[in-house]
Amino acid sequence: MNLELPYIQESAYGMLVTINPIFCIVPSTKSYRKCKKLYTRDTTLFDTEAFLDELQRNRETLQIQDVNTTFSRFKLLFETTLNKHAPLKMMSRKHQRMHRKPWISKGILKSIKTKNKLFSKIQNLDKTDSNKRNKYKKYRNKLNHIIEYAKMTYLPLILLILIYIFFFSKYFSSIGEKLSNQIDKPILAAPKTSPASNLQTSFFLSPTCPEEVQKEISNLDAKKAVPMNDIPIKYLKLAGTTISKFMSDLFNTCILDSEYPDDLKIPQIIPIHKSGSKECCSTYRPISILPAINKVFEKLLCSR
């Protein structure tokens, strides 16, 4: 800290007058967190044929060895090819400010798009046409009131959400042990027959084919949610014909080796209210959002 003491001199009127001002420079120890930049995919120059051709060439270089390594390489290859043809572009400052305001919900964002469409329609209209202008002003004013109300109620809401997160974490982390203690443990007896005599009750999984994999990929719903950092269903369906042969070989290897990729075992879990009071944790059920490729493999196993 640099401190310069003032030079004090007595004036003719008997008062103390400071000649030099005081400058105090204090280094700040507070660290400011940088705002995370938001990105979106730029599909203005997206060429479907070029994307599929390059994906086909890159896929031919993959060889199925270890299930985990092979799938990790495939996912990295798919994301690299997709980022080349549909790169991630930083959002404009306007959109970033909009997304960084936590009180702006998805419904408000949809209403803002509707307001912008109404505004674009009245741009080239005659000033005498007041019906559409009044409709736009009425919609704009109502939306502004909704945004202000959401902003005012955001702070109490975020405190309530933090409290809910604490109780949800405490409840769901202990519910498994409580339920397991209620189940009577079976008494395991030694088998009286040899394993070879139980072949009548065994079952075998037939291998899959590229056509079956392609059919299951095309049946995926692109509107369904996927975990963060997962392959979007939209582009997975687009490349279904290209990757169906590789995915078929990968699924058959998983069945033969009794292994499954670790990346497909990690879901995103969210609590969904079922019935009863919303203030009680027991009325919520944990829902797992699984990767899209995992859904394809589950349907293939279910059909068998």
Show pLDDT as tens, one digit a residue, over the chain (304 residues): 444 434 434 444 344 444 444 445 555 554 545 556 667 788 888 888 998 898 888 888 888 788 888 888 988 899 899 888 888 887 777 666 666 677 777 888 888 888 888 888 888 776 667 788 888 888 999 988 888 888 777 766 666 667 777 777 777 777 777 777 777 776 665 555 555 555 556 677 888 888 998 999 888 888 887 787 788 888 889 888 888 898 898 898 888 888 888 888 888 877 887 888 777 777 877 788 888 888 898 888 888 7
Residue 112 in tokens: 């803002």
Residues 87 and 41 sit within 8 Å (Cβ to Cβ): yes
Residue 292 in any domain: the answer is: yes
Residue 113 in any domain: the answer is: no
Distance CA 135, CA 33 (A): 42
Residue 298 in any domain: the answer is: yes
Number of compact structural domains in the chain:
1
Per the structure, the complete domain to which residue 300 belongs is given by 47-95+205-304
Distance CA 271, CA 62 (A): 38
Non-local CB neighbours of 54 within 8 Å, separated by 6+ positions = 81, 84, 85
Residues 226 and 36 sit within 8 Å (Cβ to Cβ): no
- Locus of tokens 């993959």: 62
Which segments of 12-139 are extended strands (E)? Answer: 16-18, 24-25, 39-41, 88-90
Residue 282 in any domain: the answer is: yes
Residue 70 in any domain: the answer is: yes
Distance CA 218, CA 292 (A): 11
Residue 274 in any domain: the answer is: yes
Is 40 strand, coil or helix?
strand
- Overall pTM surpassing 0.75 (yes/no): no
Distance CA 157, CA 155 (A): 5
Residue 275 in any domain: the answer is: yes
Residue 40 in any domain: the answer is: no
